[in-house]
Chains A and B, each alone.
Chain A
């Protein structure tokens, strides 16, 4: 079973609709992240959470909100979707102690979102 799962894997929606993307993890990590990937731009951080009560904006948080319902669950919402939010969205996790001090992140398979 995958350690980091995302639902849905694909979603097509219309401008103005509210969309929620969900992420669950079984790794027991306390830190979770949401990124978006656009061609030629790499991955950009939207929001991150150090634990259930600690949520922080990333570099491109405008138009997005998040909810950390439990240590294992971190949801990303688009309150009113717009076409330039069409992208591939990734959830990631890491633990506090890190492995050999590197704090590597583990990624889910991604959600492809299209906003028409």
Chain B
């Protein structure tokens, strides 16, 4: 079945540091890949997505590239801010008949001033 493995946290960085959160997946077919973000006390929001191999999703300075050869979708940001502190979830949707999302366990990011 489908699965998502993402880097365990927590991750603590200083403001303006470089961020990488690793995500690898196992899926049948050609899944769509997502990064969702959950700010404290809130629901999940879509951060970025990619629907086919070599696509790069980007939003708010975050980027992730869909790498089919390594089954990866790593999240990166060149310079994090305190306001980026949140839990980040990698997810996939392998389509088919039900379009369910399969989530990783989440990575807590804390950015200190």
Contacts and interface: CB of A to CB of B under 8 A. Distances in A.
Note whether A and B form a binding pair.
yes
A56 B93 CA distance: 17
Interface in A10-44: 31, 33, 40-44
B100 A48 contact: yes
Nearest to A110: B43
Given A102-B51, A107-B45, A42 B100 contact: no
A101 B51 contact: yes
A87 interface: no
Nearest to A109: B43
B25 interface: no
A104 B100 contact: no
A42 B103 contact: yes
Given A31-B99, A40-B105, A103 B93 contact: yes
Interface string B98-109: 111101111000
Interface residues of A, number: 28
B88 to A, nearest CB: 11
Which has the most chain B C-beta neighbours within 10 Å: A50, A103, A109, A110?
A: A103
Contacts of A110: 42-43
B43 A103 contact: no
Nearest to B45: A107
B105 A104 contact: no
B98 A48 contact: yes
Interface of A: 4, 31, 33, 40-45, 48, 50, 56, 58, 90, 92, 94, 98, 100-110
* Those 7 A-B pairs whose CB atoms lie nearest each other, nearest first: A42-B105, A107-B43, A102-B32, A107-B44, A103-B99, A42-B103, A109-B43
29 contacts: A31-B99, A33-B100, A40-B105, A40-B106, A42-B89, A42-B103, A42-B104, A42-B106, A44-B103, A45-B101, A48-B100, A50-B98, A58-B100, A92-B101, A94-B99, A98-B99, A100-B51, A101-B32, A102-B32, A102-B93, A103-B93, A103-B99, A104-B34, A105-B101, A106-B46, A107-B43, A107-B45, A109-B42, A109-B43
